[in-house]
Amino acid sequence: MQTDSCSYNCNNCPNCRISVFSDLKSDDMNLLNDEKTIIKLNKGQILFQQDTRPHGLYCIKKGKVKVFKTGSEGKEQIVRLANDADVVGYRSLLANDNYQCGATAIEETTLCFVPKETLNKLLQENISLYKKMITLLTEDLKEAETKISDLAQKPVRERVAETLLILKDKYGFEADGQTLNVVLSREEIANLVGTATESLIRILSDFKKEGLIELQNKKIKLLNTSKIFSTAHLYD
């Protein structure tokens, strides 16, 4: 984990305009800028590990991160994905808990580490920051509850379709307007869906036969989004 003190200025960071820190006034922005640290992760590098103690939160400048719980048999369940301008590791920090999940970069990622003390200083002065945190939490909780009900009620095929749409919403398409702009292994997608890798592969190849998607190594092209949508049975 390379750390590199302050080669970037938060005041110029486009993410800070939209992230949880968007409403900070100039003084506070400078504080944030002074006390943050820049971290660079290569693909596969660990950001933080489950059951360890948080010392701050991470704001993604550029890159992609998976947040996952490791279960009994060492199998990972991905509970969230993060993209540019997303904040990770804040739940455990706010709760004063150990991390319930681990986090790993799924591609080369640059992020800012904001120490706990800095965040607390900022929170003291900014009720708007509390509101932003609450917004993050309510969004995550909503998604989590949807996921619970899907896992309990939907068959794997529907969950795979839904996952493809979630990936689309989270990371968007490449320039061609069809290829998902994220690279995950089959195992990782399976861990997101909550199924066995083989089952996921089978269903992806079904989708391919049915003309819903096209596969080129790890790249997935969505050919018929509306049909994928109806396969996911999102509004029954």
Partner DNA sequence: GTTTTGACCTGATTAAGGTCATAGTTTGAA
Partner DNA sequence: TTCAAACTATGACCTTAATCAGGTCAAAAC
Residues whose CB falls within 8 Å of the CB of residue 14, separated by 6 or more in sequence, listed in order: 85
Give Cα 134 distance to the centre of its chain.
17
- The interface partner of residue 18, options being its own copies, DNA, none and the CB cut-off 5 to 8 Å by kind, is none
Report which of 146, 140, 165 is spatially closest to residue 67, judged by C-alpha positions: 140
Question: Which residues of this chain interact with its own copies, rule CB under 8 A?
Answer: 69, 71-73, 75, 77, 79, 91-92, 94-95, 97, 100-101, 127, 130-131, 133-135, 137-142, 144-154, 194-195, 233, 236
187 binds DNA (CB under 7 A): yes
User: Closest distance between DNA and the C-beta of residue 186, in Å?
Assistant: 3
Give the residue with the Cβ less far from its own copies, 77 or 179.
77
User: Closest distance between DNA and the C-beta of residue 9, in Å?
Assistant: 33
Question: Mask 193-232, x = binds DNA (CB under 7 A)?
Answer: --xxxxx-xx-xx---------x-xx--------------
Query: What DSSP character marks residue 12?
Result: G
- The interface partner of residue 227, options being its own copies, DNA, none and the CB cut-off 5 to 8 Å by kind, is none
Question: Mask 142-161, x = binds DNA (CB under 7 A)?
Answer: -------------xxx----
Cα dihedral 166, 168, 172, 174 in deg (nearest 10)? 150
Query: What DSSP character marks residue 11?
Result: G
42 binds DNA (CB under 7 A): no
- The interface partner of residue 185, options being DNA, its own copies, none and the CB cut-off 5 to 8 Å by kind, is DNA
Hey, how many other C-beta atoms are within 10 angstroms of the C-beta on 126?
16
> Secondary structure of the chain: what % helix, strand, coil (to 5)?
45, 25, 30
71 binds DNA (CB under 7 A): no
Distance CA 37, CA 221 (A): 36
